[in-house]
Amino acid sequence: MRPIRTIGLAVTALLVLSACQTFNLAESGKPVSLAKSFSITPARDWNLHENGKIQIWTIDGPILQRMRVFNGIEDGKPLVEALSADQDKKPPVFETSMTPIEIRDLFVATIARVNQFNLKTGDLRPDSVAGESAVRFEYAYTDKNGVDKRGFVLATTRDDRLYLFDYEAVSLYYYDRYLDDAEQLLKSLRASAA
């Protein structure tokens, strides 16, 4: 009984997260705005897909490597808006009062909603983004096709909204190949004037 109820939301979420997407060129040196709170300036060309509050940045394609940006999630909202479509089961939601531990748990629970239950997270440690205090952790899992994936999350809040940057790539070759480019994107983050 329970698996059947999972269909709607899981399919919806998968479509949002992984289905056919239109990508545009994010040119080197040109700033891109993140929900009016931050700007990000790539130092090389990336492909950029935007859908609501989610951006996906990639060079070789999102299955191989990508930076996913959850872009200004408001209090009481899930990371993936489509999860709200399930009337039977409440999605895990962001709350402005959340501690870094709870933000990590929110991410893990959201990933579990798309049926990836085997995420292993590494050390949770303080960091900073554009002068704002932030939290960072690494993670790893084997996907449904048996491919080892690796990633890290950097999350911060500004104006009571959550900004969560999730770099993920195939462990073999791709993670290390584009790690510096991913870090460069994060270092380029600047707070926009209020």
Partner 1 sequence: MIRARSSVGLVASALILAACQTAGRTAYEAPLRQGELLDPPAAAQPQQAARTAEADFGLIDADTIAHDGRYFRISDLNPGERPSAETLEAGLWQSMDRVEQQARTSGNRVDDPELNAYLTEVACRVAGPHCSDVRVYVMRVPAFNATMAPNGMMQVWTGLLLRTRNEAQLAAVLGHEVGHFLRQHSAQRMKSAIEASNFLAFFSVATGGWGGLAGIFAQGQLLAFNRDHEREADGYGLLLMNRSGYDPREASLTWKNLIRERDANPEKDERDPFLATHPAPEERTEVLGELGMAVASKMPTTEKGRDRFLEIMLPRRAAWLRDELNLRSFHTSNELFDILLEDDPNPAEILFFKGELHRLRNDEDDAQMALDFYGEALNAAGSAPSYLHRSKGLVHNRRGDHAAAKESFEAYLEASPNASDRLIVEDMIERLATS
Residue type, 176: D
Instruction: Dump strand ranges (E) for 27-131.
Output: 32-34, 38-40, 46-51, 54-58, 65-73, 120-129
Q: Which two tokens stand for residue 36?
A: 């009016």
Q: Which of residues 27-46 bind partner 1 (CB under 8 A)?
A: none
Span from 103-111, 164-172, 175-183, 186-194 in contact with partner 1 (CB under 8 A)? 103-111
Rule CB under 8 A: which of 125-184 touch partner 1?
125-126, 135, 141-147
* Angle between helix 2-18 and 100-113 (nearest 10): 100
Q: Does 101 bind partner 1 (CB under 8 A)?
A: yes
All residues at 6 or more sequence positions from 34 whose CB lies less than 8 Å from its CB, including other chains: 40, 55, 69, 71, 72, 163, 189
Site string for partner 1, 75-94 (x = CB under 8 A): ------------xxxxxx--
The single residue among 42, 72, 100, 151 that binds partner 1, judged by CB under 8 A, is 100
- Footprint of partner 1 on this chain (CB under 8 A)? 1-7, 10-11, 14-15, 18-19, 87-92, 95, 97, 99-102, 104, 108-109, 112-118, 121-126, 135, 141-147
